[in-house]
Amino acid sequence: MRRLGSFGPRVSAVSLGAMSISGTYGPSTEAETMRLFSRAVELGVNHFDTSDIYGLGRSEELIGRYLRESRADIVVSTKAGIRYMPVTGERRVDNSPAHLRNALEQSLKRLGRDHVELFYIQRREAARPIEEVMETLSALKKEGKIGAIGLSEVSPETLREANRLTRVSAVQSEYSLWTRDAERSLIAACDECRAAFVAFSPLGRGMLTGHVLDPATFSKGDFRLNNPRFQEPAYSQNRAAMAVFEKLCERLGKSPVEVAIAWVLSAGEHVITIPGTRTAEHLEVNVAAADFRLTQNQRAEIAAAFPDGFPWGDRFSSAQAIGIEPTV
């Protein structure tokens, strides 16, 4: 267990990312998802991460159904700030007070809750003053609709600026052995602001699990079909690097999932991670990985073998990178 921000609730260090249950990396059934949630609770996972954009509300609806039926006590984090335009299929960042309020109301309806414990701006709208955004979030907090404020994919500067205005409890950004950018300053900036750093995609969207992926079999709509790291020639180069990673794990006597999750959690005591999966079986493996701690020597050895920037291809295509701020 770790604290979700210095003043936040204690949550499982390995929490559950609920994006995959809405089709990001292939299909899943509602029954499979209910089984996943029940197993999560049995294993002590008490924090689910979602967003209004995951399956355009589907992920929140499924969590809502589970919470209604089980009455489980879960810390729910959700996000808003990316709008999907159904006519053009375009996504746009919108941090306006009207949009954030309306999006949160819709999320609460789907979740069947009158509040969420943590509410993130999923992307910062560059042209909108941060003062206005934090004012909107503070008002939602005062009204009891959100327990704490989070920011996602922001720079250390935005975090510091925002935190000077109102407490930021968590920053969420991509962090794993194959996306190490946050180590340069964002993880330290979170510590300095007493915010949790919530590492998303800790398993490299499936690459760091030891399972050999075949992009030719990805289903229609799979996020990775348009992701540079999964396009040739990058994919084959990245797969070759993964074979080296798997050998290193073998030498440590640990599975790739154990090492990948231990890597993320050893970046700081304020780090929480939210691996995503559709199945109870994979969840069990991910949660069990929290028991393994890397020594400093092991971390140094892994860092040297897989330096920041080693993968081929950017972590997002230009269309996927909408609203991303640099982590340095």
Ligand X SMILES: NC(=O)c1ccc[n+]([C@@H]2O[C@H](COP(=O)([O-])OP(=O)(O)OC[C@H]3O[C@@H](n4cnc5c(N)ncnc54)[C@H](OP(=O)(O)O)[C@@H]3O)[C@@H](O)[C@H]2O)c1
Q: Which residues bind ligand X (CB under 6 A)?
A: 17-20, 25, 49, 122, 152-153, 172, 200-206, 209, 211, 257, 274-279, 282, 285-286
136/201 with CB nearer ligand X: 201
Min dist CB 320 to ligand X, Å, is 10
To the query of whether residue 66 is one of the catalytic residues in this protein, the response is no
- The residue annotated as part of the active site, out of 54, 66, 120, 175, is 54
* CB-CB neighbours of 306 under 10 Å: 20
**Which of residues 113 and 229 has its CB atom nearest to ligand X in the complex?**
229
Q: Which is nearer to ligand X, 8 or 143 (CB)?
A: 8
The nearer residue to ligand X, 19 or 196, going by C-beta atoms, is: 19
Q: For residue 17, what is the enclosing H or E element? A: strand 16-17
Burial 114-149 (b: 16+ CB within 10 A, else e): ebbbbbbbbbbbeeeebeebbebbeebbeeebbbbb
Shortest CA distance to 99 belongs to which of 115, 123, 75? 123
Q: Bridge partners of 78?
A: 119
Polymer length in residues for the chain: 328
Backbone angles phi, psi at 198, to 5 degrees: -105, 110
Catalytic residues: 54
